[in-house]
A and B are shown apart, each in its own frame.
Chain A
Amino acid sequence: MQIKLNVNGQSIEDFVEPRMLLVHYLRDILGYTGAHVGCDTTSCGSCTVHLNGHAVKSCNLLAVQANGKSITTIEGLAIGDQLHPLQEGFKECHGLQCGFCTPGMIMTAADLLENNPKPTEQEIREGLEGNFCRCTGYHNIVKAIQYASEKMALA
């Protein structure tokens, strides 16, 4: 099927198999390998990207469902060399270890802060319900999101 979409600011026209998952299209066809596949049940959130500005799990959408839509992946979050405050926060607060869940965590957190710029610790923890991390115990991920929240409030 023919699709037209915008990925990280770039307009794309393509033909895809109807059954191709969006995450496989992004990773295998477009080369945006920052979206990872950690499960097959839409549970782990490693594949999270933004679809028209909202966090979605790209393993739970078909590529054809992104037709006419705009997608941002982790690769499109920084503006040039200017890291997003969340990217900076994850580095400053040691919010990542192996890095595999990190892109999904950051994309989920970006949506969270968009809707709730000053979340409480509990709101952050609940906001991450759909994202698994096996390395950090979430402690420094919470701190990283708090860091970004404070930084974005100053901007």
Chain B
Amino acid sequence: MSNKYIGQSIKRVEDKRFITGKGRYTDDIQLPGMLYAHILRSPYAHARIISIDTTAASKMKGVVKIYTGKDYEAVNGVPCGWQVNFKDGTTMREPKHPLLVTDIARHVGDGIALVVATDKYLACDAAEEIKINWEVLPSVTNAMEAMKPGAPIVHAEYADNRAFDWQIGNPKEEVDAAMASAHHITKLDFVNNRLAPNAIEPRSYIGHYDPVYEKYTLYTSTQNPHLIRLLMCAFVLGIPEHKVRVVGPDVGGGFGSKIYHYTEEALVTLAAKDLGKPVKWTSDRSEAFLSDAHGRDHISTAEMGFDKNGLIVGLRIKTFANLGAYLSTFSTCVPTYLHGTLLQGLYTTPKIHLDMTCVFTNTVAVDAYRGAGRPEATYLLERLIEVGAHEMGIDPTDLRFKNFIPPFDGVTQPGYQTQVALQYDSGNYAPVLQRGMEMLGYENFKKEQAESRKTNKLLGVGFSTYIEACGIAPSAVVGSLGARAGLFESAQVRVQPTGKVSVFTGSHSHGQGHETTFAQVVADKLGIPLADVDIVHGDSDTVAFGMGTYGSRSLAVGGSAIVKSIEKVLEKGAKIAAHKLECLVDDLEYAEGKWTIKGTDKSISFADVSLTAYVPHVYPPNLEPGLDFSSFYDPTNFTYPFGCHICVVEVDADTGKVTIKRMIAVDDVGNVINPMIVDGQIHGGLAQGIGQALLEGVNYDSDGALQNGSYMDYAMPRADDFPMFETDRKTTPCPHNPLGVKGAGEAGAIGSTPAVVNAVMNALWHKGVRDLSMPMTPESVWRAMNKK
């Protein structure tokens, strides 16, 4: 195999359509006779529908039909994809999430009625004329408040608002004993602020039904078309899967929020059949804030114990996770298996215990958002170790070096068995921190910081060293933990008669650049030009199967499936080549796009073999014609990227305004196929992580109304909130997948947030500031400085 493309920053092949305005997103698609849907949503966090009258609205211009919850009473709700059990083994509580509310709205934005009209403006007009008589009920939006006796009850059948409780790690008494032995304990209360994912393309769906072929088509802005088909057909609508095509065309960002099966997907699908015309629904931004699943929202008390030398002896955490009013597709695994299992971090902590309570509230569902559970785990660990270092008077970098797990390659040395179920694949943690410190120029920084304290522009530096679990996931493992799906990936490599190659992948690209990265892998493995490879994704009728893109899994799992199919192509191709060259398969070697008899100049090209496979006149006996292979790849472990993020801030002592002066990221994501694309993924993650630290946070008021549900109110990061990012890499290959890759999609958002908070704390430590809450707006920092 030659590496002409792998490791190179090849410019993206998908860019041309996007820079010329020719991308095709769901809302760009117009079908003949298409109708437009608008959803009337609950203005109340918790309210009973006494009566609903659609008579006047139904008579309005352009209105075709209005549906309410009663129309779907016999239809299942949208399911949760992961069953997590209570500590005592009983099954989690799983209230029905109906397509539209029948009796009680449980969060602001809960769907009440679907208005279908000939025009989107007319659908909106009609929705305003629907008359609803409400009985407003008391509501609760905060997880801790929801746990208090007498709190409003979200689902009458679950009087304590508990979805489930859960624990992981060593037995509690062992951890208590370890903590009792500690020389120093750092204890902090944390709120991991609730975030709105805010992919810039709002969700959009088109339902279509073809009565001739009795076939449904759903166009959807999703990260995983096949998964949507599976969930919608098998769990919600009970329609046969082979009669449903799901297309995820160009998708304008996901960050987790477009994984889930949303009610609107099923609504447009049913309406299209009922009305005999295509039905489109496109969210507006305000609706997105009310109805897209949010991220994070943990409240924790966490303690890290150290011995007299600074070695961590124990970690004890109690967390309440807000799941919202209904269980979204992966909501249950995020605070548990994607969070608790990462509490080992990069450290040799011998005793760990997490006690987790997952709670129903009157808010929209909370589910995976870039990083999904891992940023929350990293935030706890990296804030605790940094505060601990400051409290004990140890340099925070020294404290980390002291506690790092020693290097292991996962090949000659075994993986590292954590106290929280996972076994890390390979790791070498000190070099990422060393490199970050070099880039920072730590000693010089300390001098600058001392100088800054003579002014009112206070400098601070914050560190964060993180690990994550990506390449989700070994099906048997996640199955044993409650996943209701396998998490393998499929790929078909179809060699055309002329030697051009079409690759059908179950991964879905919504910004990640798969059409380029995957093509680089295929072109190098086959020794053919990049332009001879086409990557096809996003259509359940053309791609055999797929589990989609999330959890930084596409290359590690989807790419590995492609490699498996390529190996099958080359194996069969060698048989054809040997027959044509009249030699044994073992006499051949494959390089530069041709099979050559070793030690000779006799060869046959990939294109000639491809043609022979489809024009099998001179052909091996007992070999099928054709050159087209499918594979399913199920990983044997998660992958474990890690890295070091360092932030330098300047805090204005008069106003509390925080300015990011430098953001350094040294990430080890295993082997890299396209450095340019990996850097781009890191940049984007950093921006989201910094956004959480400084700007973003969803607020519900005491009545459960969303206070900042638009871009006028929710502080989205802008270009002038950031400096140029400084990135570098180390490479510790993944030992258990054929490309040695670990995944890069979420790293930036996992490591950066605590680095920023640690930096602000470092800037203000000498002023006695210990407690900072995100987002660190000028007001909140000023209050922390002034104890107000």
* A-to-B contact residues, CB < 8 Å: 17, 19-20, 27-28, 31-41, 43-44, 46, 73-75, 77-78, 83, 87, 90-92, 94, 96-103, 106, 121-122, 124-126, 128-129, 131-142
Contacts and interface: CB of A to CB of B under 8 A. Distances in A.
A33 B686 contact: no
Contacts of A87: 19-20
B720 A38 contact: no
A139 B512 CA distance: 16
B153 interface: no
B121 A19 contact: yes
A32, A44, A124 — most chain B CB neighbours (10 Å): A44
Contacts of B22: 34, 75
B511 to A, nearest CB: 3
Nearest to B28: A33
Contact of A122 (B19, B198, B720): B720
A32 B28 CA distance: 9
B662 to A, nearest CB: 13
B164 to A, nearest CB: 32
B710 A41 contact: yes
Contact of B18 (A96, A125, A137, A138): A96
B201 interface: yes
B200 A142 contact: no
A139 B725 contact: yes
Contact of B720 (A75, A91, A129): A129
A137 B200 contact: no
B680 A91 contact: no
Contacts of B680: 94, 97, 135-136, 140
A132 B200 CA distance: 8
B695 to A, nearest CB: 12
B16 interface: yes
Interface residues of B, number: 59
Given A46-B200, A91-B15, A40 B285 contact: yes
B252 A99 contact: yes
B12 interface: yes
B21 A75 contact: yes
A59 B83 CA distance: 43
B494 to A, nearest CB: 26
A140 B683 contact: yes
Given A37-B202, A136-B684, A99 B511 contact: yes
A122 to B, nearest CB: 7
B720 A126 contact: yes
Interface in B703-728: 710-712, 716-720, 722, 724-725
Contact of A36 (B14, B121, B252, B719): B252
A121 B286 contact: no
B16 A135 contact: no
B688 A36 contact: no
Given A78-B20, A134-B253, A137-B688, 8 more contacts: A97-B512, A97-B680, A100-B23, A122-B720, A132-B200, A135-B684, A137-B687, A138-B722
B718 A139 contact: no
A96 B19 contact: yes
A146 to B, nearest CB: 11
B27 interface: yes
Nearest to A21: B121
B199 interface: yes
B531 interface: no
7 contacts: A17-B121, A36-B27, A39-B284, A96-B18, A129-B718, A135-B511, A135-B684
A122 B720 CA distance: 7
A137 B23 contact: no
A101 B513 CA distance: 16
A113 to B, nearest CB: 15
A98 B719 contact: no
Contacts of B19: 74, 83, 87, 90-91, 96, 99, 102-103, 106
A91 B11 contact: yes
Contacts of A137: 683-688, 717, 722, 725, 748
Nearest to B36: A28
B719 A141 contact: yes
Contacts of B30: 28, 31
A33 B21 contact: yes
Given A39-B285, A97-B511, A142-B719, A121 B20 contact: no
Interface in B201-220: 201-202
B124 to A, nearest CB: 11
A150 B19 CA distance: 19
A95 to B, nearest CB: 9
A27 B202 CA distance: 16
A27, A78, A136, A141 — most chain B CB neighbours (10 Å): A136
B622 to A, nearest CB: 48
A107 B14 CA distance: 20
Nearest to A129: B718
B226 to A, nearest CB: 20
B408 interface: no
Contacts of A131: 719
A135 B253 contact: yes
Nearest to A101: B200
Contact of A38 (B202, B684, B719): B202
B25 interface: yes
Interface in B24-74: 24-25, 27-28, 30
Given A94-B677, A98-B511, A139-B724, A34 B719 contact: no
A81 to B, nearest CB: 10
A41 B712 CA distance: 7
B725 A100 contact: no
B593 to A, nearest CB: 27
Contacts of A39: 284-285, 710-711
A100, A128, A136 — most chain B CB neighbours (10 Å): A100
